[in-house]
């Protein structure tokens, strides 16, 4: 996806086996996070994803995490491993399974974690990294996704609109 492109609606199964329809996510903004269970980069961001959910859900931001990885090649990323992983790591937001990988492909996602932020009209306004220090949260200088969310909530343009996501490559079928 390129900045300015509209969200392609999707329906995916959540960790409870229920279908999540992106068109029913009614938040002021929509944050989609591609992540997984096994990747050390994704694991390093779990607390920060939890904090994003805690800080922004009360402000009307919809946040969903999507696991796009091939669970056959990477058994830790199988659907049945997602619910306990999400619970054990305190992942409160919706955790969805992209079994066919079609959603990840439609987004052009390449890494876990990688984020995509959509405005109230579901137009892509930011994509890339969560921040600038995956390994050391105390060394973060630029909170890219937080800054993008605040900019949109204030009615401002996002700057930067795109950064390079750092993480494991998506494990394609």
Checking if the pLDDT of 69 tops 80, the result is yes
Does 5 fall in a domain?
Answer: no
Does 38 fall in a domain?
Answer: yes
Check: pTM over 0.75? Answer yes or no: yes
Nearest Cα to 122, choosing from 29, 20, 24, 10? 29
Does 2 fall in a domain?
Answer: no
> Checking DSSP bridges between strand 29-34 and strand 114-118, what pairing results, if any?
antiparallel
For the chain, give the mean pLDDT: 95
Nearest Cα to 43, choosing from 76, 14, 78, 16? 76
User: Can you count the helices (H) and strands (E) in the chain?
Assistant: 5, 9
Measure the CA–CA gap between 158 and 170, rounded to whole angstroms: 26
* pLDDT at res. 88: 65
- 46-56 vs 144-153: helix axis angle to the nearest 10? 10
Does 93 fall in a domain?
Answer: yes
Q: At 89, is the pLDDT very low, low, confident or very high (cuts 50, 70, 90)?
A: low
- For 98-149, the pLDDT digits (tens) are 999 999 999 999 999 999 999 999 999 999 999 999 999 999 999 999 999 9
Does 105 fall in a domain?
Answer: yes
Strands (E) located in 107-155 = 111-112, 114-118, 124-128
Is residue 63 a contact partner of residue 33, using CB atoms and an 8 Å limit?
Answer: yes
Domain count within the chain: 1
CATH number assigned to the domain comprising residue 124 = 3.40.30.10
Domain that holds residue 141: 11-169
Does 115 fall in a domain?
Answer: yes
Does 136 fall in a domain?
Answer: yes
């Amino acid at each position: 996806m390129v900045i300015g492109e509209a969200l392609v609606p999707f329906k995916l199964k959540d960790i409870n086996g229920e279908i999540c329809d992106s068109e029913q996510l009614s938040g002021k903004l929509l944050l989609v996070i591609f992540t997984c269970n096994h990747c050390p980069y994704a694991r390093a961001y779990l607390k920060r994803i939890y904090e994003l959910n805690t800080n922004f859900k009360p402000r009307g931001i919809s946040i969903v995490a999507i696991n796009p990885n091939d669970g056959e090649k990477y058994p830790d990323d199988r659907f049945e491993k997602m619910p306990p992983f999400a619970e054990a790591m305190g992942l409160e937001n919706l955790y969805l399974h992209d079994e066919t990988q079609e959603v990840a492909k439609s987004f052009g996602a390449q890494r876990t974690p990688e984020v995509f932020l959509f405005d109230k009209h579901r137009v892509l306004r930011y994509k890339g990294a969560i921040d600038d220090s995956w390994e050391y949260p105390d060394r973060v200088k630029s909170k890219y996704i937080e800054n993008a969310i605040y900019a949109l909530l204030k009615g401002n343009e996002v700057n930067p609109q795109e950064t390079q996501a750092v993480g494991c490559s998506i494990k394609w079928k």
